[in-house]
Amino acid sequence: LKLFVSHESTARLRSITSQTQRRRGEMDVMRRSASKQSPAWRGQFRSQFKKTKMCRFYPAGACNFGKDCSFAHDAKELSQAPDLTKTSMCQAFAAGRCPLPLDVCPYAHSEDELRVTPAFVAKKLSRRTREAPALDSSATQGMA
């Protein structure tokens, strides 16, 4: 049995493989940079998401955490998740490969674009918030 594979199919497969390898490389960079953060920073980051989703175990009476559960047990407990757009640098842009325009890409393309969430304004756990004398409203916009 002889299979016929067109030149176009081979080229398409190479393109998909190349894109996948690039994405894996970008994910590795993001994982390495996230692991460099202190335990206090990681805890502060995670705390922003407390009670932003409903507990899937509570309705069935299977939540073992009670009032200490990180998830909301009723609609009154729900809070809004933070807006994380432009809170980290675009790895694809840094590598010269971001296909998205500046206003569409969810990541910052320059230091001037970077912003912080309210949790990091209150606690100076990142170099950016420690070094900034006072954050103006543009650095924290959309974070209420």
In whole angstroms, what is the distance from residue 65 CA to residue 52 CA?
A: 16
The per-residue pLDDT for range 95-115, each reduced to its tens digit, is 999 999 989 999 999 999 988
Residues of the chain above pLDDT 70, percent: 60
Tokens of residue 128, six digits = 């950016």
Q: Is the pLDDT of residue 121 over 60?
A: yes
CA distances from 114 to 86, 88, 129, 138 (A): 5, 6, 11, 10
CA distances from 139 to 78, 108, 111, 117 (A): 26, 12, 11, 9
Beta-bridge partners for 108: 89
More confident residue, 70 or 124: 70
Backbone angles phi, psi at 126, to 5 degrees: -115, 155
Look up tokens 């016929």; give the residue.
Answer: 4
Mean pLDDT of the 23-27 span: 60
CB 141 within 8 A of CB 118: no
Decide: residue 41, CB within 10 A, 0-12 exposed, 13-18 middle, 19+ buried. middle
The per-residue pLDDT for range 29-67, each reduced to its tens digit, is 555 555 577 788 788 888 889 999 999 999 999 999 999
Q: Is the pLDDT of residue 133 over 60?
A: no
Q: Is the pLDDT of residue 116 over 60?
A: yes
Q: What is the mean pLDDT of the chain?
A: 77
Is the whole-model pTM more than 0.75?
Answer: no
